[in-house]
Amino acid sequence: GVGMGMTAPVSITAFPAEDGSFQQKVKVSLRIPSQFQDNPPCPTDESIKIEERQGMTIYSMQFGGYAKEADYVNYAAKLKAAVGSDAAYRKDFYLCNGYDPPMKPYGRRNEIWFVKE
C-alpha cells in the first residue's frame, strides 16, 4: 500500500543454459529506495520477497538500446571473452541490468554483471 516509485537499476538474474540462453527461471530485483531501507513495507503478494544483497565485486560491460534477451546473451558472451578463462566469477548466474524507463528512446544504458568469486 506504499508507493515507492521506480528505482534503477532493474536487475534480472539470469541462469544460463548450456547454450548460453536463459533458462525459464529468472529473478527480477528492484532496489528499495533509501528512505525505506531500514524498515521496508511488507509485500502483500506472496511471490514478492525482500532480500538483502550483500556487497559484491563485479565484472561489467555496458551497452545501449532496448535490451532483449538476445542482447543480454550476446553481451554476456562478449564479457566472458573480455575477462578471459582465468577470471574467477560465478558461472551459474549473471545479472542483466537496465537503468532507463521504457519510454526513454535514446541514450539507454544496460549492463551485464558477472559476480567475482
- Ranges of each domain in the chain: 10-115
Residues 12-62 pLDDT 10s: 999 988 777 777 777 889 898 888 889 888 888 899 899 988 899 999 999
Phi, psi of 61, rounded to the nearest 5 degrees: -135, 130
What is the rounded radius of gyration, in angstroms, for the C-alpha atoms of the chain? 15
Look at residues 92, 99, 76 and name the one whose alpha carbon lies nearest to residue 27: 92
* Confidence check: pLDDT of 1 > 80: no
Q: Evaluate whether 97 touches 30 at the Cβ level (below 8 Å).
A: no
H helices within 12-51, ranges in order?
none
Q: What CATH architecture does domain 10-115 belong to?
A: Alpha-Beta Barrel (3.20)
